[in-house]
């Protein structure tokens, strides 16, 4: 474990938890709009983390992977929102929209976190220049690190969930590009999809890294834009 990995995880976890919850809420809300009330009836259209946390996938797996990799590997999830696609007014359209709702939410949240980082960064600069404001500046600096990391968390979740590996969200779009017979076998992989994902995270890390590179490049651009504005404003 690299020095500071545990501290980095402590800073990242609040943003990760909120972003995972928002991802699932988006699935549930769009499913409702497409005609399926299953998630709503089970109380899943809520930002209350207790409704979405899975002790293993939301806490244990992210912590072990993040810390053991020195912060290089991100993977986690909340309890999947239960949906009944047969209730969608249009099966294919509903399946695609519900599946992409989560990644779209994470993409938007990346920019929301960038905006928060800008506001907090300006507050840090102001507090740092005020006499006797050291404690306040330190607290704001910690908050700045948390929201800054939130940019990368959300872009990472967005890109990762777009991987065309069942049962990730990207597979619900990719399957419609395949011939029906192939699509059926492809969807069947979902029964062991998370095993495949875990193997790829360790064995196929270069492929995963290549897939994630554009997302983290965008994150770096947003972070630079925030820092340049804070320092030069």
Of the chain, the percentage scoring pLDDT greater than 90 comes to: 56
25 in Cβ contact with 45 (< 8 Å): yes
146 in Cβ contact with 171 (< 8 Å): no
Mean pLDDT within 127-149? 74
Mean pLDDT within 191-217? 81
User: Cα(120)–Cα(148) distance, rounded to whole angstroms?
Assistant: 10
The token pair that represents 4 in the structure block: 């500071």
Digit-coded pLDDT (tens) for 92-122: 999 999 999 999 999 999 999 999 999 999 9
What string of DSSP letters covers 218-232? HHHHHHHHHHHHHHH
Which residues, 6 or more positions from 68, have their beta carbon under 8 angstroms from its beta carbon?
A: 1
Query: Residue 132 has what pLDDT?
Result: 47
Known catalytic residue: 24?
Answer: yes
pLDDT band at 216 (very low <50, low <70, confident <90, very high): very high
User: Cα(134)–Cα(95) distance, rounded to whole angstroms?
Assistant: 51
- When mean pLDDT is compared across 25-39, 60-74, 106-120, 182-196, the lowest value belongs to 60-74
Residue whose pair of structure tokens reads 């949240």 in the numeric block: 109
User: Cα(106)–Cα(92) distance, rounded to whole angstroms?
Assistant: 22
The one catalytic residue in 24, 36, 95, 169 is: 24
pLDDT band at 204 (very low <50, low <70, confident <90, very high): confident
Digit-coded pLDDT (tens) for 170-185: 999 999 999 999 998 8
Global pTM reads 0.89
């Amino acid at each position: 474990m690299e020095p500071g990995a545990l501290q980095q995880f402590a800073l990242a976890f609040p943003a990760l938890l909120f972003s995972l919850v928002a991802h699932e809420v988006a699935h549930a809300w769009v499913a409702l709009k497409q005609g399926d009330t299953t998630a709503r009836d089970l109380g899943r259209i809520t930002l209350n983390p207790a409704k979405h946390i899975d002790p293993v996938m939301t806490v244990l797996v992210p912590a072990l992977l993040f810390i053991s990799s020195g912060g290089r590997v991100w993977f986690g999830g909340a309890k999947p929102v239960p949906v009944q696609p047969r209730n969608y007014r249009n099966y294919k359209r509903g399946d695609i929209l519900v599946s992409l709702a989560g990644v779209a939410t994470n993409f938007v949240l990346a920019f929301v976190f960038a905006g928060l980082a800008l506001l907090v960064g300006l507050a840090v600069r102001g507090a740092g220049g005020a006499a006797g404001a050291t404690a306040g500046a330190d607290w704001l600096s910690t908050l700045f690190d948390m929201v800054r990391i939130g940019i990368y968390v959300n872009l990472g979740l967005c890109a990762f969930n777009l991987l065309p590996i069942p049962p990730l969200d990207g597979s619900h779009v990719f399957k419609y590009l395949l011939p029906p017979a192939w699509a059926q076998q492809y969807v069947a992989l979902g029964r062991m999809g998370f095993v495949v994902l875990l193997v790829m995270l360790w064995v196929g890390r270069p492929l995963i890294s290549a897939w994630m590179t554009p997302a983290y490049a965008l994150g770096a651009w947003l972070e630079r834009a925030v820092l340049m504005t804070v320092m030069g404003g």
